[in-house]
């Protein structure tokens, strides 16, 4: 937490310098802090137009902040997995060691190297896929290379920053760029443990650990459900997709469904979408991506554990199981804690933002969820918010980025066994 705060503070100072601004003068303190925190927490919310406000120096600071933040997040989450694996059985510990790249906390250096190499390899591949397309669109060699590198870093880290006028709307007619960026965001949202297990054991998917199976299953289900419902809600909306062809509509909605889980890129004006779509996006953003990833939210495995526990309770089963594996009761309690902590944070942030802005509840709730879930989708509240509102959103991004990992790590290390048990009694529930 101290490391993230330090990096955000340094980037805030750098972005407040006149050299970071494209025009005369410099950015305000509130704008510099918000963008710095947004970059370090790989969110994508910004109170200024990125390509108009920041110079090459400013954009370089943002890119480095995204990269440092992404590496730090993956490393911290992987260390959490290592710490929790100490409480597992032999087979589970071996799987956890394979997923994180290390089996002991003393192997932090090895873990960091694996995380760094994996991230760099993924970003190089994305850069090579984007570069020819930018060249074909008429950009110069160095400009195309810079754009390819920037979008590779921004997409794989689920940051959502753009440097073209209009953001991803600039590429709404380019399925190749949207497809590459969408794929990079989806893979990045799965998490380093999942990507590592899939790359090592790609020939034997039956041998994948439970975390990988749950993450892939729930992530795919959320994308498909979001795609189908957004098609229903937005196809007839005259302000978004009513005049778009069926193929383009399906592609743009699929892209948004993937981005709503932490990517933050969008080819549509989110503010012009229906309130029903806003509610759906609130839910998808709040769930977020996979544990051990740069995605935010309460994480898909949290949702999976809670749903499975509810189904087991409804069926009268003592154990909660999935893929022929029994889920530890402590994981269920941890999932409940993460859910309540996330909901409480969103509630408090919404109340505070309603008091410092004049925005309606629908838009404020959307922006607060986007900040907490480090998603980056915006309905314009961030751009219109006063300095106090920007500070609130900055705090929400830091809490959303570090809160889940910190809470899970703290709770996993506080396992205590008493020498006595109280008499059991069941209160009336429901």
pLDDT tens readout for residues 13-61: 999 999 999 877 788 899 999 999 999 999 999 999 888 889 999 999 9
Whether residue 422 is contained in a domain is answered as no
Averaged confidence pLDDT in the chain: 85
Q: What is the pLDDT of residue 239?
A: 85
Per the structure, the count of domains in the chain is 1
Q: What is the pLDDT of residues 274-326, one digit of tens each?
A: 999 999 999 999 999 988 788 889 999 999 999 999 999 899 888 898 888 89
CA separation (Å) from 291 to 197, 217, 231, 256?
14, 14, 28, 21
What pLDDT, on the 0 to 100 scale, is given for residue 254? 92
What's the confidence (pLDDT) of residue 417?
Answer: 65
Comparing 175-189, 264-278, 415-429, the range with the smallest average pLDDT is 415-429
Question: How do residues 107-152 score in pLDDT, each as one tens digit?
Answer: 555 556 677 788 889 999 999 999 999 999 988 899 999 999 999 9
- Residue 116: predicted pLDDT: 78
The answer as to whether 285 is a domain residue is yes
**pTM (two decimals):** 0.88
Residue 88: pLDDT band with limits 50, 70, 90? very low
The answer to whether residue 426 is domain-embedded is: no
pLDDT of residue 105: 46
The answer to whether residue 429 sits within a structural domain is no
Q: Which domain holds residue 204?
A: 2-412
Q: Is residue 97 scored above 60 in pLDDT?
A: no
Q: What is the rounded distance in angstroms from the CA atom of residue 387 to the CA atom of residue 73? A: 27
Q: Is residue 418, in this structure, part of any structural domain at all?
A: no
pLDDT score of 84 more than 80:
no
Residue 193 included in any domain: yes
Q: How far is CA 305 from CA 309, 318, 339, 420, in A?
A: 6, 14, 11, 28
Q: What is the pLDDT of residues 210-244, one digit of tens each?
A: 888 999 999 999 999 999 999 999 887 888 877 77
pLDDT tens sequence across 182-193: 999 999 898 877
C-alpha distances out from residue 139 to 123, 131, 146, 325, Å: 20, 10, 10, 52
| C-alpha span between 149 and 154 (Å, rounded) | 9
Residue 94 belongs to a domain? yes
The verdict on residue 30 lying in a domain is yes
């Amino acid at each position: 937490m101290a490391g993230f705060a330090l990096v955000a503070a340094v980037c805030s100072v750098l972005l407040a310098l006149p050299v970071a601004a494209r025009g005369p003068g410099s950015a305000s303190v509130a704008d510099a802090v918000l963008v710095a925190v947004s970059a370090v927490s790989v969110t994508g919310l910004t109170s200024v137009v990125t390509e108009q406000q920041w110079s090459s120096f400013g954009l370089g600071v943002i890119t480095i902040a995204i990269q440092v933040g992404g590496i730090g997040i993956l490393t911290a989450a992987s260390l959490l997995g290592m710490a929790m694996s100490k409480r597992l059985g032999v087979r589970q510990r071996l799987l956890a060691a394979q997923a994180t790249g290390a089996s002991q906390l003393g192997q932090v250096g090895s873990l960091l190297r694996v995380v760094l190499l994996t991230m760099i390899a993924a970003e190089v591949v994305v850069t090579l896929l984007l570069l020819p397309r930018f060249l074909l669109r008429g950009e110069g060699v160095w400009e195309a290379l810079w754009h390819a590198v920037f979008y590779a870093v921004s997409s794989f880290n689920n940051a959502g920053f753009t440097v073209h006028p209009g953001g991803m709307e600039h590429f709404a007619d380019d399925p190749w760029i949207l497809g590459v960026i969408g794929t990079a965001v989806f893979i990045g949202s799965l998490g380093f443990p999942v990507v590592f297990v899939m790359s090592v054991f790609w020939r034997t998917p039956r041998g994948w650990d439970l975390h990988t199976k749950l993450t892939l299953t729930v992530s795919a289900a959320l994308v498909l459900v979001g795609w189908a419902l957004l098609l229903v809600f937005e196809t007839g909306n005259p302000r978004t997709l009513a005049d778009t062809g069926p193929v383009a509509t399906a592609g743009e909605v699929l892209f948004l469904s993937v981005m709503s889980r932490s990517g933050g890129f969008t080819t549509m004006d989110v503010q012009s979408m229906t309130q029903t779509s806003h509610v759906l996006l609130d839910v998808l953003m709040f769930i977020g991506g996979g544990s051990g990833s740069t995605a935010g939210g309460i994480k898909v495995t949290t949702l999976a554990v809670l749903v499975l526990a509810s189904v087991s309770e409804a069926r009268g089963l003592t154990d909660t199981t999935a893929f022929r594996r029994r889920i530890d009761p402590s994981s269920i309690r941890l999932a409940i804690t993460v859910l309540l902590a996330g909901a409480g944070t969103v509630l408090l942030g919404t109340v505070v933002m309603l008091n410092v802005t004049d925005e309606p509840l629908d838009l404020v709730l959307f922006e607060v969820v986007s900040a907490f879930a480090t998603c980056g989708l915006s309905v314009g509240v961030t751009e219109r918010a006063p300095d106090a509102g920007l500070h609130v959103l900055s705090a929400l991004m830091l809490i959303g980025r570090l809160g889940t990992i910190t809470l899970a790590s703290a709770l996993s290390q506080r396992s205590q066994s008493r020498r006595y048990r109280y008499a059991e009694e069941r209160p009336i529930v429901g």
